[in-house]
């Protein structure tokens, strides 16, 4: 550090002799005197050499020593350089003060003593060095102060940003509909947001410090430990894991789970953070939707089966009727044939039920008060349901009108009650409740066919054996039964399902093994009366015989054959066709002769409807009876079928067909 630096001393005097003798006196190593004979010279030396001391003669001829001292002080480069005044005159106080005022630090009177001079120079140099080093320190301190100021303002900025982000996190957490949590390394809660209480019921204070696995089902504990181990030890971020947590009241709730390691500034894992999204309702709706879709598919399937079945029954009934015509009235066989007819009628009843399920059977809708219907049925139930089952009606006073088929409502209550009876062999309680509820958009979205608005809610609750999830999944399917020994057909609930859908309603069931069962049926409230369903206007006709020509069209050979025989027996001339194409060809050739067409709708190839359309093009006034195995859809009814006034539903009674044929033929 102690680098030897050349120091200059500036000697200022007009008198060159004086200057030289002063110079001669200064013999200090490292110190070099500079001689200035005038003020200008002195100032120029100051600028070029920055002397450490200035010796200034006061009594100069051209220069005023005081004024020069003042200039030296004003100069930035020399304002701290010690100035020593030299005078030939003895020291007088006013001079001394003036000298000090102008910046001198010392005063010497000639003749000068070398020793005194040297010691003064040494002292002044020390002073100068100290001043210099203080100046340096001051500059360094200034710089440091500046840096601190910058750092302080940066710190303040960071702090404000931190405060803001903390505030943002807080409001995010406090307002999030999903649960946000942080866990310590041991899996205990360090933070949960208010959504935890809203969704799971426990207050926040009772959660903090507890372990995550304290809130899950026992069987799931291992799965959750693995989940958090992967996050903590494997430093993984996991998403979209489905898991269950338990509500304070004990019921499970389903969550979409995500988690990530919580890392500090140094990159160490200090815990875990994550999100829990409650998907219980969403999941429920999805299951309902799937079930509804499955039932739709089953309905279509059942409708198809019922159609084929009706053709078979039609053939059986037709032939049985023919048999009855051919055998003697008092023959033993009459009773047996009647049994065949009876059995086929029971079969027809079964297909009617299937069609109800597939929503293809006709319901006779009318504005009804469901409470009155229920009261009426309860009287019947009194006889059907054993006394050890207590039936409690809880019917709202303010029930609203629904558009429903009373006989089908009766069927619903009957089937529900019979099921409840079977579920309570040792007695119990069946509650039948009605109320009016409003269903909103989100509820209706999950239930196809349901529209938002007021609904009458019919709830049937029993205290019976209940069902497990396996049964719950299938119970509305036709032929699904858990009852053995032919006790159940498995049709009860599928029929209820069909009726409810037919009425624009919705049904759901909740049940647990041993905990009873609850069925809820929603029926839309009627805002406006619907026009009564169209029915065929039949007139009683005594004589069904005729001699006209009838074209009978059906793809089922047995149906065709029995129909042909029946009508032939009653005097008609018959033409038959087994498809729309055949019928059309025949009609083109013989339409002059043909008086009446009996036309089946569902046939392969062009089918009945297209055939009908072509026939009507040739003769729009052609007399036609349409036979069908199922109710026509709305779009079907809007086509050529809208021109048809007479429909006969399969399986039909022979006399129905004969009477209808006669009625049309006699009409002009």
Q: Which residues bind to ligand ADP, rule: CB under 6 A?
A: 415, 419-420, 423, 462, 464-467, 471, 475, 480-483, 488-494, 517
**In the stretch 217-236, what mask flags binding to Mg ion with x, by CB under 5 A?**
--------------------
* Closer residue to ligand ADP, CB minimum distance, 431 or 489: 489
* Closer residue to Mg ion, CB minimum distance, 121 or 475: 475
CA distance 577 to 555: 8
Element (H, E) at 44: helix 39-49
- Residue pair 543/532 in contact by the 8 Å Cβ criterion: no
As given in the structure block, the two tokens for residue 381 are 């139930």
- The least CB distance from residue 359 to ligand ADP, in Å, is 16
**Interaction between residue 546 and Mg ion (CB under 5 A):** no
Beta strands in 247-286, from DSSP E residues, in sequence order: 252-263, 269-278
Binding partner of residue 434 among Mg ion, ligand ADP, none, CB cut-off 5 to 8 Å per kind: none
- The least CB distance from residue 386 to Mg ion, in Å, is 16
Binding partner of residue 489 among ligand ADP, Mg ion, none, CB cut-off 5 to 8 Å per kind: ligand ADP
- The least CB distance from residue 419 to Mg ion, in Å, is 4
| Residue whose token pair is 């196809």 | 448
- The least CB distance from residue 509 to ligand ADP, in Å, is 8
* Closer residue to ligand ADP, CB minimum distance, 339 or 392: 392
Long-range contacts of 653-659 (CB under 8 A, 24+ apart): 653/317, 653/321, 654/317, 654/318, 654/321, 654/566, 655/544, 657/563, 657/566, 657/567, 657/598, 657/625, 658/544, 658/566, 658/567, 658/570, 659/538, 659/540, 659/541, 659/544
Binding partner of residue 627 among ligand ADP, Mg ion, none, CB cut-off 5 to 8 Å per kind: none
Q: If you ran DSSP here, which 8-state letter would residue 218 be given?
A: G
**In the stretch 433-472, what mask flags binding to Mg ion with x, by CB under 5 A?**
----------------------------------------
- The least CB distance from residue 521 to Mg ion, in Å, is 15
Burial of 598 (0-12, 13-18, 19+ CB in 10 A): buried
Applying CB under 5 A, the span of 108-116, 389-397, 418-426, 582-590 interacting with Mg ion comes to 418-426
* Closer residue to Mg ion, CB minimum distance, 422 or 653: 422
Three-class DSSP category at 391: strand
CA distance 110 to 107: 10
* Closer residue to Mg ion, CB minimum distance, 478 or 580: 478
Phi-psi region of 607 (alpha: psi -120 to 50; beta: other; left: phi over 0): left
* Closer residue to ligand ADP, CB minimum distance, 81 or 381: 381
* Closer residue to ligand ADP, CB minimum distance, 86 or 493: 493
- H-assigned helices in 406-519: 406-423, 441-445, 469-474, 492-502
- The least CB distance from residue 410 to ligand ADP, in Å, is 15
**Interaction between residue 419 and Mg ion (CB under 5 A):** yes
**What is the β-pairing status of strands 269-278 and 179-184?**
antiparallel
**In the stretch 370-409, what mask flags binding to Mg ion with x, by CB under 5 A?**
----------------------------------------
- For 280, 378, 492, 510, 579, the CA distances from 411, given in Å and listed in that order, are 34, 12, 9, 21, 38
* Closer residue to ligand ADP, CB minimum distance, 452 or 488: 488
* Closer residue to ligand ADP, CB minimum distance, 464 or 608: 464
* Closer residue to Mg ion, CB minimum distance, 419 or 576: 419
- The least CB distance from residue 521 to ligand ADP, in Å, is 13
- The least CB distance from residue 466 to ligand ADP, in Å, is 6
CA distance 626 to 657: 11
Sign of the Cα torsion 97, 99, 103, 105 reads: negative
- The least CB distance from residue 418 to Mg ion, in Å, is 5
- For 164, 567, 599, 630, the CA distances from 560, given in Å and listed in that order, are 86, 11, 10, 18
* Closer residue to ligand ADP, CB minimum distance, 180 or 493: 493
Binding partner of residue 546 among ligand ADP, Mg ion, none, CB cut-off 5 to 8 Å per kind: none
* Closer residue to ligand ADP, CB minimum distance, 321 or 462: 462
Q: What contacts 155, CB < 8 A, 6 or more positions away? A: none
Binding partner of residue 465 among ligand ADP, Mg ion, none, CB cut-off 5 to 8 Å per kind: ligand ADP
* Closer residue to ligand ADP, CB minimum distance, 158 or 384: 384
As given in the structure block, the two tokens for residue 318 are 């037709």
Measure the N-to-C terminal CA separation of the chain; round to a whole number of Å.
137
Backbone angles phi, psi at 348, to 5 degrees: -65, -35
- The least CB distance from residue 354 to ligand ADP, in Å, is 13
The sheet with strand 647-649 has its strands ordered as 573-577, 549-553, 596-600, 624-628, 647-649
- The least CB distance from residue 350 to ligand ADP, in Å, is 13
- The least CB distance from residue 487 to Mg ion, in Å, is 9
- The least CB distance from residue 479 to Mg ion, in Å, is 11
Binding partner of residue 255 among ligand ADP, Mg ion, none, CB cut-off 5 to 8 Å per kind: none
* Closer residue to ligand ADP, CB minimum distance, 493 or 596: 493
* Closer residue to ligand ADP, CB minimum distance, 187 or 466: 466
- The least CB distance from residue 598 to ligand ADP, in Å, is 37
Residues within window 477-516 making contact with Mg ion, judged by CB under 5 A: 492
- The least CB distance from residue 361 to ligand ADP, in Å, is 17
Which among 34, 35, 25 is positioned nearest to 115, based on CA atoms? 25
Centre a 10 Å sphere on the Cβ of residue 321 and count the other Cβ atoms it contains. Answer: 20
- For 5, 47, 57, 69, 137, the CA distances from 132, given in Å and listed in that order, are 13, 17, 25, 20, 9
Residues within window 335-374 making contact with Mg ion, judged by CB under 5 A: none
Binding partner of residue 185 among ligand ADP, Mg ion, none, CB cut-off 5 to 8 Å per kind: none
Q: What contacts 568, CB < 8 A, 6 or more positions away? A: 574
Taking CA 249 as the corner, what is the angle to CA 246 and CA 250, rounded to the nearest 5 degrees?
45
Applying CB under 5 A, the span of 84-92, 312-320, 417-425, 563-571 interacting with Mg ion comes to 417-425
- The least CB distance from residue 461 to ligand ADP, in Å, is 9
- H-assigned helices in 257-405: 280-326, 333-357, 370-384
Which among 52, 111, 60, 132 is positioned nearest to 84, based on CA atoms? 52
Please count the residues of this chain forming the interface with Mg ion, following the rule CB under 5 A. Answer: 2
Binding partner of residue 482 among Mg ion, ligand ADP, none, CB cut-off 5 to 8 Å per kind: ligand ADP
CA distance 248 to 477: 36
* Closer residue to Mg ion, CB minimum distance, 265 or 386: 386
Binding site for Mg ion (CB under 5 A): 419, 492
């Amino acid at each position: 550090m102690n680098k030897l630096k050349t120091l200059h001393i500036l000697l200022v005097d007009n008198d060159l002799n004086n200057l030289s003798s002063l110079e001669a006196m200064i013999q200090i190593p490292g110190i070099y005197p500079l001689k200035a004979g005038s003020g200008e010279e002195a100032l120029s030396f100051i600028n070029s050499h920055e002397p450490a001391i200035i010796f200034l003669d006061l009594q100069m001829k051209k220069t005023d020593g005081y004024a020069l001292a003042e200039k030296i002080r004003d100069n930035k480069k020399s304002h701290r350089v010690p100035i020593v005044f030299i005078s030939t005159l003895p020291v007088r106080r006013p001079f001394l003060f003036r000298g000090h005022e102008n910046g001198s630090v010392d005063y010497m009177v000639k003749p000068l003593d070398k020793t005194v001079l040297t010691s003064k120079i040494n002292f002044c140099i020390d002073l100068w060095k100290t001043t210099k080093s203080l100046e340096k320190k001051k500059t360094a301190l200034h710089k440091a102060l500046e840096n601190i100021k910058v750092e302080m303002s940066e710190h303040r900025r960071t702090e404000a940003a931190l405060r803001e982000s903390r505030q943002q996190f807080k409001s995010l957490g406090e307002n999030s509909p999903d649960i946000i949590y942080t866990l310590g390394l041991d899996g205990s809660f360090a933070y949960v947001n208010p959504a935890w209480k809203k969704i799971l019921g426990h207050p926040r204070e009772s959660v903090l410090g507890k372990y995550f696995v304290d809130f899950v089902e026992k069987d799931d504990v291992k799965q959750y430990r693995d989940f958090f181990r992967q996050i903590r030890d494997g430093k993984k971020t996991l998403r979209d894991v489905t898991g269950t947590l338990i509500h304070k009241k004990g019921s499970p709730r389903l969550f979409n789970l995500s988690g990530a390691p919580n890392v500090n500034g140094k990159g160490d894992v200090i815990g875990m953070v994550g999100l829990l999204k409650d998907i219980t309702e969403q999941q429920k709706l999805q299951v309902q939707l799937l079930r509804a879709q499955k039932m739709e598919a089953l309905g279509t399937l059942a409708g198809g089966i019922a159609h084929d079945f009706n053709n078979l029954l039609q053939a059986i009934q037709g032939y049985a009727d023919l048999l009855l015509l051919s055998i003697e009235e008092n023959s033993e066989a009459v009773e047996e044939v009647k049994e065949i007819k009876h059995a086929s009628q029971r079969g027809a009843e079964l297909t009617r039920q299937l069609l109800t399920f597939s929503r293809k059977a006709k319901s006779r809708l009318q504005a009804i008060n469901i409470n009155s219907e229920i009261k009426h049925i309860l009287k019947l139930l009194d006889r059907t349901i054993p006394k050890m089952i207590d039936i409690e009606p809880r019917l709202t006073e303010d029930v609203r009108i629904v558009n429903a088929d009373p006989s089908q409502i009766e069927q619903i209550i009957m089937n529900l009650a019979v099921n409840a009876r079977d579920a309570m062999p040792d007695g119990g309680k069946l509650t039948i409740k009605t109320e009016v509820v409003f269903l909103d958009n989100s509820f209706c979205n999950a239930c196809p066919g349901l529209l938002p608005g007021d609904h009458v809610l019919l709830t049937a609750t029993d205290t019976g054996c209940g069902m497990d999830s396996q049964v719950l999944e299938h119970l509305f399917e036709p032929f699904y039964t858990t009852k053995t020994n032919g006790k159940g057909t498995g049709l009860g609930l599928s029929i209820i399902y069909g009726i409810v859908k037919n009425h624009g309603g919705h049904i759901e069931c909740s049940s647990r093994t041993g905990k009873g069962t609850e069925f809820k049926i929603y029926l839309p409230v009627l805002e406006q009366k619907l026009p009564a369903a169209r029915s065929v206007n039949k007139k009683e006709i005594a004589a069904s015989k005729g001699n006209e020509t009838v074209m009978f069209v059906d793809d089922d050979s047995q149906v065709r054959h029995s129909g042909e025989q029946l009508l032939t027996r009653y005097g008609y001339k018959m033409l038959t066709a087994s498809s729309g194409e055949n019928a059309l060809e025949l009609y083109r050739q013989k339409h002059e002769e043909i008086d009446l067409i009996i036309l089946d709708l569902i046939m392969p190839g062009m089918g009945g409807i297209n055939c009908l359309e072509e026939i009507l093009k040739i003769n729009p006034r052609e007399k036609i009876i349409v036979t069908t195995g199922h109710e026509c859809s709305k779009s079907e009814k809007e086509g050529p079928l809208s021109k048809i006034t007479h429909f006969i539903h399969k399986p039909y009674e022979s006399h129905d067909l004969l009477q209808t044929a006669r009625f049309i033929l006699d009409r002009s």
